[in-house]
Amino acid sequence: MKKLMAVLLILAMVFSMAACGGNQSEDPGNDPVVGEEEWEGTLRIGDNWGASHPMAAALDNVFKKEIEEKTGGKIKVDVKHDGLFGNEADLWTGVRDGSIQAAVVGTPMNQEFSMMLISDWPFLYRDLDHARKVWTESDVASFVNEEFHNKFPEVQIIGWGPNSARTFTSNKKLTSVDDFKGQLFRMPGNPIHEGIVENLGASHTVIALGELYTALETGTVDGQDNGMVTVIAQNFDKVQKYLYETNHIIATLEIIVNQDFMDGLSESQREIVKAAGEAAAKQAWTDYIASVDEDREALKAAGVTVTACTPEDQAKIIEKIQPLVDKLYSENSWAQDLTDKVKNVQ
């Protein structure tokens, strides 16, 4: 009996060892990742635009919706428009230090990282559709994203949407190139915008977007430059008489996210957030391009004198701002290669 018990014990040990061995992968590196924890909480994202701006609307209708649906509600998205999380500089700082998770900004970092001047390069694209292709279909965005992240490892870009094709508005007559002389324009704190008005014979001052309506209303400045969509969204048509459709810059807006926040997500959640950023940017381009003709007619209906920039006047503007363009190329070693890359996108 003792011998039988001993044999049974030995057989049990053999089967147990075989079973344990059968559950181990010969290559542990191929074992699936088990139990990756998913983050639960609220992603806060802000912008400086009215809710009707295509980029702002895309945050509400695409970015928020996709993230909340595809994460099963584990990630909630709190979107704040009109600078409720702060002005553009505040948003940039907030995403960098992690006090907010994400934001839509233009290029408040261009003094630290000059390659972001590409977002405001004058007369760079053939038309709006060319700009859309550059930032949503070509490898230009991924190239700049990588360079950007190398410079600012605490932040990454997940989408390039439209700001607008920028136009000039004024309370003084502005229907030709000669009308710029002597006028005072609010411009963003950006050497390209400032250089353009200087080359056109005007002067400039820097005012935050949230303070611009009052500055126009009180006559602190004569005018400003923004796309027609922004003129409408910010109600500038109520305090401006003339709009000159120069389309001198087709500017972009970038969706940026805090890297620590992204690192705290599961792999699938990170992919959802990135995909939502790309989808929001693409939708914003589609909506913006479709809105341009409607915006023009809305401004005319509001009593604004809208003047198209003729090919002859555009050629005059390009000639007048050539000193600025020459300066940009001479000061930025990346500029020739990157602008060529943009222009070659078909």
Exposure class string for 70-79: b at 16+ Cβ within 10 A, else e: bbeebbebeb
Of 21, 80, 46, 15, nearest to 255 by C-alpha is 46
Which residue in the block uniquely carries the two structure tokens 């006090």? 99
Amino acid letter, 259 = Q
pLDDT-derived band at 7, boundaries 50, 70, 90: very low
pLDDT digits (tens, 9 = 90+) for 233-279: 899 999 999 999 999 999 999 999 999 999 999 999 999 999 999 99
pLDDT digits (tens, 9 = 90+) for 141-193: 999 999 999 999 999 999 999 999 999 999 999 999 999 999 999 998 889 99
Intrachain domains 41-163+251-291 and 167-249+292-336 with the same fold: yes
Q: Which CATH architecture has domain 167-249+292-336?
A: 3-Layer(aba) Sandwich (3.40)
Q: Identify the pLDDT of residue 37.
A: 87
Q: Identify the pLDDT of residue 36.
A: 66
Distance CA 124, CA 83 (A): 29
Q: Is the pTM of this model over 0.75?
A: yes
203-206 β-sheet, strand order = 203-206, 184-187, 223-226, 167-170, 242-245, 305-308
Decide which of 3.40.190.170, 3.40.50.720, 3.40.50.1980, 3.40.50.300 is the CATH code for 41-163+251-291: 3.40.190.170
Whether 17 has a pLDDT exceeding 90, the answer reads no
3-state secondary structure of 154: coil
pLDDT digits (tens, 9 = 90+) for 28-59: 332 323 346 899 999 999 999 889 999 999 99
Q: Identify the pLDDT of residue 10.
A: 40
pLDDT digits (tens, 9 = 90+) for 279-291: 999 999 999 999 9
Domain residues of the chain, as ranges?
41-163+251-291, 167-249+292-336
